[in-house]
Amino acid sequence: MRFLFLLVLLAGAALGIAYPWAASNVAGYEIGTWRIYDREEGFTPAEATLAAPEAPVAIAVDIRTDGALTRAEGRPLLTLEISGDGEPVQSLTLDFADAEARTINPQSGETGYRIVADRLAIIDHNRYRFEFEPGEAMTDRLISADLTLNAGAFDLDPRAIPAGFILMAVGLIGFVASFFRRRRSNPNSQHPPPRWGRGGKS
């Protein structure tokens, strides 16, 4: 039983600690990066050949502006239409409400943002096309935008953490309790009681 509780404890740690850490830090490998916008060419669609084992595919857009953008809730910066082998797959709106700004050039005020979009959970086409258009919050301060696709990323199941901690608690309590459990006495290990009478002690 002690070994069983130890396995439950380890399973809970893997589910409640290791799995959330991996979901937050493991982004898979990079499939590629495409320039989807610059001031001279405007918007350019990106095309990529994807395979089923690469799913889920994480979508991120890195933009550069010539000054900090004004954050506006509910107003998308970009819109994205995804198609696979000519068939519509997904429509997304991208904003920078949760994106962290970083200063690229203090003299010019050039600022960068990384926008993380929803992931392609299933890859069931061969050739994918990503078409971007300006959103409601589009400004003329946008300098460039690059699309990056990462394979092998995965999402965190919100049920994993509480389930993991429950397993950890059960495993820990059972493991500790196994050390304090009283062993049942074995009647064969005790000396027989002394006999009274003939052959016994008087």
The 10s digit of each residue's pLDDT in 27-80 is 578 999 999 999 999 999 999 999 998 888 989 999 999 988 876 656 788 999
- Cα 16 to Cα 31: distance, rounded to the nearest angstrom: 29
For the chain, residues classed under CATH 2.60.120 are: 27-151
> Do residues 126 and 85 make contact, with C-beta atoms less than 8 angstroms apart?
yes
**pTM of this prediction?**
0.65
The answer to whether the peptide bond before residue 56 is cis (omega within 30 degrees of 0) is yes
Tokens, residue 180:
């304090």
- Span 70-116, pLDDT tens digits: 766 567 889 999 999 999 999 999 987 778 789 999 888 899 999 98
Q: Tell me the residue type at 195.
A: R
CATH of range 27-151; options 3.30.519, 2.60.120, 3.40.50, 1.10.3470: 2.60.120
User: What band does 6 get if pLDDT is binned at 50, 70 and 90?
Assistant: confident
List the one residue out of 167, 166, 163, 161 whose CA is nearest residue 4.
167
